[in-house]
Amino acid sequence: MAAQATRPRTTRKTPRAGTQSVPLTRLTILDALRSWVIPTAVGVVSMVVFVIYNIGVLDEPPAVTIVGAGALLVVLFYGVRGFVEAGASSTLAVALAVFAVLWGGTTFYPFYRAINPGTPTFKAALTPHVPVTLPLQGKPGRYYAFVEGHFLPSQGRENRTAVYHIALGGEGTTDRLLEGTFSQEWRSQRVGAGRRSTVVPSLHEITQVRDFIDDPDGRPLTATLQDVSPGLRDTVSLRLYAETLPTWLLIFLGAATMIAAVVVDTWREKGQRDGLMLTLTAATLIALVVFCRSSTRVPGFPQFLIAALLGALGGAVAGSLLWWLTKPLRRYLPRLT
């Protein structure tokens, strides 16, 4: 009987669980980063800030700044999240980082300066028919003008409005008339919840109006308070803030950002959200123009919501039109994917 040949036993090496989970974990993190993490975090922070603002703990300027910065971050995120994937080239990552810096600086800086103008270049109290010289000689440029007034005490709860007129000119002439309206409005506000809630009156005031003064020649100007409505104190305060970046530079940065958005959109695969970054950029810039040009008061949450709505509507139209117009040029743009 022939001896049976014995085969050596081979042991199968089972892959470690950790080795298999590394790619899966990475894909899970990437999927979370490009889907829900950033919008959810921004939404939670914005909600907390808005609640703190409504109970009077936080002032409106920092609250609007935080919420607006979060909104800009979400817009940028939705424009570039399609590129967040495993195996993306380092060249593409660097190019997107440069674009994000350009996009963020171009959009956030004017938004921040509209809410936080900084240290005033000049401030003075204006009384009726007494001219005050604005020291702008040799300092040409564009200035934000903030006019602030205060109502006299009233006997009851009545809604009031007051109008002022300030003559702006030089050498005995009036080049322009600054005018604005202050208001006091009583509203009902519910305090508490359930059966213990009560309705209490609350006073909402607009006592600060923003305007613009252009002095391209850098000549000294005079401001004269001509009149104020009854019920307002005779003295109003005037503050001037110099425009840090000239308008032409902001326009140049906006145009450069739009061109860069077109380049970024050409890096996508064909048929994948064509013109998305261009549309989002156009909507953001339109909203910024509406927000920064608001002259009724210092921009706050109402102006923020109006600007966002108009920006969304205008951006949808402008983005589609620009994407169609740039079609002959996109074939010559470099592709990184």
Residues facing 160 on adjacent strands: 184
pLDDT at 22: 47
CA distance 149 to 238: 9
Q: Encoding tokens for residue 233?
A: 């104190």
Residues facing 144 on adjacent strands: 212, 241
Residues facing 66 on adjacent strands: none
Residues facing 134 on adjacent strands: 221
**Model-wide pTM > 0.75:** yes
pLDDT at 2: 46
CA distance 164 to 122: 20
CA distance 123 to 113: 18
Q: Residue holding tokens 């600086």?
A: 105
Q: Residue holding tokens 């600054």?
A: 178
Q: In sequence order, what are the residues at sequence separation of 6 or more whose Cβ sits closer than 8 angstroms to the Cβ of residue 44?
A: none
The pLDDT tens digits along the chain (337 residues) read 444 445 555 444 444 444 444 467 766 766 666 778 889 999 999 999 999 998 888 988 899 999 999 999 999 999 998 887 655 678 888 999 999 999 999 999 999 988 888 889 899 999 999 999 988 888 888 898 999 999 998 878 888 999 999 999 877 788 889 998 998 888 776 666 666 667 667 777 888 888 888 888 888 889 999 999 988 998 999 999 988 888 889 999 999 999 999 999 988 877 666 789 999 999 999 999 999 887 556 688 989 999 999 999 999 999 999 999 988 888 777 666 5
- Three-state DSSP at 122 gives strand
pLDDT at 30: 65
pLDDT at 1: 45
| Helix (H) or strand (E) segment spanning residue 205 | strand 198-206
CA distance 53 to 50: 5
Q: Encoding tokens for residue 137?
A: 């000689």
Residue 135 CB neighbour total at 10 angstroms? 12
CB 224 within 8 A of CB 129: yes
pLDDT at 142: 86
CB 282 within 8 A of CB 273: no
**CA-CA distances (angstroms) from residue 184 to 38, 181, 205?**
40, 10, 5
* Positive/negative CA dihedral, 102, 108, 111, 114: negative
- Three-state DSSP at 131 gives coil
